[in-house]
Amino acid sequence: MLIGVGAALVAMVLNSLGALLQADGALRASRTRPIALQPRYLLGLGADVVAWLFSVVALRFLPVFAVQAVLGGTIALTALAGERLFGTVLRRVDRLAVLACLVGLVLVASSAGQTRPPMRSPIVDVVLLVSVLLLSVIVLVLRRGRRAWPLAVVAGLGFGGSTLAVRAAHVQGGLDPSMLLVQPASYLVLGFFLVGLLGYSAALTRGEVSSMTALLTVTEVLVPGLVGIWLLGDPVRPGWEPVLAAGLTIAVAGVVVLARSPHERPARR
C-alpha cells in the first residue's frame, strides 16, 4: 500500500513538472523552431514518461480511483507554480474552480472499493481499440482549430485510456510478464498515450497552463474511474454512491468554469 501511495505521489510531482516544462517550450516555439525542437518541451515529455511509469507501479498496489485521486493534485501544483513562473493571474472564480476540481476528485476517489476484480469481460479489448481509433481522429481534427479546452479534454481521455489499458492488462495478466505480453490491452497503452500527448501539447500552445492541466486532469481521473466501474468491474464502496455523485457534480462544475476562463493563450515572454 505504501509503495503504491509513494509511487503515485512521485508521479503527481513529475506530471506537474512536465506540464510546466512543456508550457514553457510551447511559449518559445516559432515557425523556425517548432515545439518539437524545444529542449524544455522535450524535457517535459521525459518527465511525463517517467511519471507514467510510476503510475503503472502505483496501479499494481492501489485501485484506479485511489491512484487517480493522488494524481489529481497536479491541478494545484501546476496552478501555483504557473503563477510564479509565467506570471499568469487566475481570477478568484478560477481559483475556486481549481479547488472544486480537487475536492470533487477526492470525493470520487474515496468512493472506490478496495477489492480487485479477478477477471474482465472479453469485450474490453474491443472497446479500448475502438476508443483509441476514435480519439486519434478527433485529436487530429481538433488540432486544426484554435480552441484550447477541447484539446485538453481529449488529451485527458487519451491519458485516461492509457490508465484503463494498464488496468485491463493487469487484471487479466497479473504480474506475469509473459501473460502481459499476450494481452492486446498492453499494446493499446501506447496509442492512448500518444493521443494524450498530441492533444496536450496542442492545448498548451492555445491555452493557459493551469486551466489546461486542470481540464486534462479531471477528465483523466473521472472517465477511467467511471469506465472502470462499468467495464472492469471496479467496485464502489457500499453506500457511497451519493458521495460519488457529489464528487462528479463538483468536479464537472469546476471544469465548466475553467473551460470558460478568458485565459485562452498565455502571452509570450
- Digit-coded pLDDT (tens) for 13-42: 898 888 888 877 777 777 777 767 788 888
Low-confidence ranges of the chain (pLDDT < 70): 1, 35, 63, 65-66, 76, 79-80, 82-90, 112, 114-121, 170-182, 210, 258-269
CA dihedral 71, 210, 35, 39 (to 10 degrees): -60
pLDDT of residue 264: 43
**DSSP structure class, residue 231:** I
Element housing 138 (H / E): helix 124-142
Nearest to 75 by CA among 213, 207, 208, 199: 213
What's the N-to-C CA distance of the chain in angstroms? 44
All three cell numbers of 157: 481521455
Residue indicated by cell numbers 496536450: 200
The Cα–Cα gap between 257 and 132 comes to 28
pLDDT of residue 82: 67
CB-based contacts of 19, cutoff 8 Å, min separation 6:
44, 74, 78, 204, 209, 213
- Digit-coded pLDDT (tens) for 138-179: 999 999 988 888 999 999 999 888 888 887 776 655 555 555
pLDDT of residue 143: 92
**DSSP structure class, residue 89:** -
pTM higher than the cut 0.75: no
Question: What are the beta bridge partners of residue 236?
Answer: 112
